Chain A
Amino acid sequence: MPRNTVDLPYHVEHLSILDEKGQLDKELEPQIPDDLLLRLYRAMLLGRRFDERVLSLQRQGRIGTFAPTTGQEASQLGAVAALEPSDFVVPSFRETVAQIYRGAPMESVILGFGGYNEAALLVEKGKDLPNSVPVGSQVLHAVGIAWGIKYRKEKAVAMAFFGDGGTSEGDFHEGMNFAAVYQVPAVFVCQNNQWAISVPRSKQTRSKTLAQKALAYGMPGIQVDGNDILAVYAAAAEAVERARSGEGPTMIECETYRMMMHTTADDPKRYRKEEEVEGWRKRDPIERFQNYLKDKGLLPDEKIQDLESEVKEEIQSAVDHAEELMKKYNDPLEMFEHVYEEMPPYLGEQREQLNQELAERGQEETHG
């Protein structure tokens, strides 16, 4: 018997609509209403300026370590723009731009970076999950949520985010497998930013694409230019529609680049060349989208200037508010809350112990 090639139901496509030179593939151009286009541009700009601002706060010691997002605005926003507010986003720890677009107050983000558990109190009763730090582990939560959606016959979708490094984790594979077996309404968005701290994409996996990993699970996988918001949006809209209509999960690999350090505690000069970063700077997602909007006549120069000052003001007022809140959220006893629904007696005793310590310290300070 001859050796036959097994016919798989899917193959990997690469999608690019608006390339780095500003060339637009008219045939593939998604039909996005003007107001959404402008909302996305504003969100990209806000995300970029916010990232710059919190980096300077961190360098001044006013907040702690965080994971910058610069460069990944399109690959985050293009994905969540395809969602409804009633859908679920399950982020990793670098989806700040997407989270703000979905309604997370910037104050909350700053408080979180500033080391305040109380940051969570500012998040309204939404459906999105909080940041998940252990890499890849959150993928499974999206599957459980999507399973629930299917069980309750709702029309919602759960969208999970993870990075190129995350695709090496077991939980990513278990999640993809479970999602496909149960055909749940999930969308898996890989932010392939080329670096998992110091380990490049090429050392993360021998696979030619990350998207092809979907094929092993019997799920469609697509690779898109992650710095092309039109391509990310088109792929996400297709995947969300597939999920919503009961046709199961999809994986999207967004090829993008982490322009900054992994976190503010990292020094990328130790492991990557400046030329590489410069190369990606030419593929900047905001500049590209800005040119597209200009060509469409949606974004005159004075509008850009107005938006710049608008987001600057908005960020400043969030920073001011966050710093006020930091003064307000100064009760160490808060750490004992929300461990269980009901506080066990021994925890009450430990709380009282700290309360005493604080009272004694207060007295010493008064009398000392």
Chain B
Amino acid sequence: MAKMTMVQALNLALRQEMQKDDSVIVLGEDVGRDGGVFRVTDGLIDEFGEDRSLDTPLAESGIVGMSIGMAIYGLKPVCEIQFSGFTYLAFHQIECHASRMRWRTRGRLTVPMVLRAPYGGGVRALEHHSESREAFWAHIPGLKMVIPSSPRNARALLVSAIRDPDPVIFYEPKAVYRAFREEVPEEEETLPLCVPQKVREGKDLTIISYGAMMRPTLEAALELKEKDGIEAEVIDLLTISPLDETLLVESVKKTGRAVIVHEAPRSFGPAAEIVSRLMEKAFFYLEAPIARVTGFDVVIPLFSKEKEYLPGPERILRAARRVLSV
């Protein structure tokens, strides 16, 4: 096993899937010679050639629309949109076609494509480079919305996403891209989509999060243990939608208390849906109101103030202690 950053782990996933299956095609702006602006597709052009690591003209709708056609034809396109803030230029292609082609043709034609895009704040970027708008995609039937949180699960989830028969929006937390390394096995590893993972066992409180927010969430859980003697159970969603709430419900039935953390804006965000499902299925087990720790309902500020926007361990701790005090 080698210690890898998330960028390297994603590159490994792409490289191995491309070796196994010549229908896997990577395409997007600067993904060829440049290896992607974050270098996720680095070196693929050398190993697989220009046809399989395909530089496209600068047009997001073109990239996604063409990927849809490729997928219908029988290929497995993995397109990169340079920043998730530019996916909106392809919104209609995803909503009107990628998500519906199976539905429209009653299963005759399908769109097994992956759209990769870095999302989220924390890297001192320009406007449109820091949003966390996964709720847009989670709201659309027919799409899968996947967000890894570490190098190892990023690799395993990307492999599963490429092999999945449905279109997958794969958001990569750019704040985690090079933030830390993790052992990633060279041999094949997959993770099932639509299955959350328990990453910390606990009995007093359930904290649910995903993506870049997993690190502050785990930090907060550790501090709760050290300072308060509280055992928090931590769940990483991994797939935002379709959401399987089974593990979440089980955990909250045990702990009676829950905090949900995401950097996306609060109103109509993923936490709102999770709270509803917990109310529907675990209401009589709740000891306290569920708390949401989220981004504020504003456009994420330019980077001089993004630290104050993004949830950190302190904000999570404060919410957890409030929930525990009831």
Contact surface of A with B, Cβ cutoff 8 Å:
88, 90, 117-118, 120-121, 123, 125, 129-130, 132-134, 137-149, 151, 158, 170-171, 174-175, 177-178, 181, 337-341, 344-347
**Residue from the list A147, A339, A347 in contact with B66, Cβ < 8 A:** A147
Give me 27 A-to-B residue pairs in the complex whose CB atoms sit less than 8 angstroms apart, sorted by A's number. Answer: A117-B103, A123-B105, A130-B104, A130-B105, A134-B92, A137-B93, A138-B97, A140-B68, A141-B65, A146-B69, A147-B70, A148-B74, A148-B75, A171-B62, A171-B65, A174-B62, A175-B62, A175-B65, A177-B59, A178-B57, A339-B103, A339-B142, A340-B242, A345-B244, A346-B242, A346-B243, A346-B245
Q: Contact between B70 and A117 (Cβ–Cβ < 8 Å)?
A: no
**Residue from the list B51, B61, B73, B242 in contact with A145, Cβ < 8 A:** B73
B107: nearest chain-A partner, CB-CB: A338
Q: Contact between B70 and A148 (Cβ–Cβ < 8 Å)?
A: yes
Q: Contact between B72 and A141 (Cβ–Cβ < 8 Å)?
A: yes
Q: Contact between B97 and A120 (Cβ–Cβ < 8 Å)?
A: no
A131: nearest chain-B partner, CB-CB: B104
Number of A-B residue pairs with CB-CB distance less than 8 Å in the complex they form: 134
CA distance A120 to B56 in the complex (A): 33
**Nearest-CB distance from A59 to chain B (Å)?**
27
Q: How many residues of B contact A (CB 8 A)?
A: 46
Contact surface of B with A, Cβ cutoff 8 Å:
25, 51, 56-57, 59, 61-62, 64-75, 77, 92-93, 96-97, 101-110, 141-142, 144, 165-166, 194, 242-246, 277
Chain A facing B: main interface SS: helix
CA distance A193 to B277 in the complex (A): 51
Q: A140-B93, A141-B68 given as contacts; is B246 within 8 A of A345 (CB)?
A: yes
Which residues does chain A contribute within 8 Å of B104, judged by CB atoms? 120, 130
B65: nearest chain-A partner, CB-CB: A140
Which residues does chain B contribute within 8 Å of A88, judged by CB atoms? 73
Which residues does chain B contribute within 8 Å of A341, judged by CB atoms? 102, 110, 165-166
**Nearest-CB distance from A333 to chain B (Å)?**
14
Q: Contact between B62 and A117 (Cβ–Cβ < 8 Å)?
A: no
Q: Contact between A174 and B59 (Cβ–Cβ < 8 Å)?
A: yes
CA distance A117 to B104 in the complex (A): 7
**Residue from the list A137, A139, A144, A338 in contact with B73, Cβ < 8 A:** A144
Instruction: Identify the interface centre among A120, A121, A174, A341: most chain B CB within 10 Å of its CB.
Output: A174
In the complex, besides A90-B69, A117-B106, A340-B102, 13 extra interface pairs with C-beta distance below 8 angstroms are: A88-B73, A137-B96, A140-B68, A141-B72, A144-B68, A144-B72, A145-B69, A148-B73, A151-B25, A171-B61, A171-B93, A178-B57, A337-B107
Which residues does chain B contribute within 8 Å of A149, judged by CB atoms? 73
**Nearest-CB distance from A64 to chain B (Å)?**
16
Which residues does chain A contribute within 8 Å of B62, judged by CB atoms? 140, 143, 171, 174-175, 177-178
A150: nearest chain-B partner, CB-CB: B51
Q: Contact between B93 and A151 (Cβ–Cβ < 8 Å)?
A: no
**Nearest-CB distance from B178 to chain A (Å)?**
32
Q: A147-B69, A339-B141 given as contacts; is B103 within 8 A of A174 (CB)?
A: no
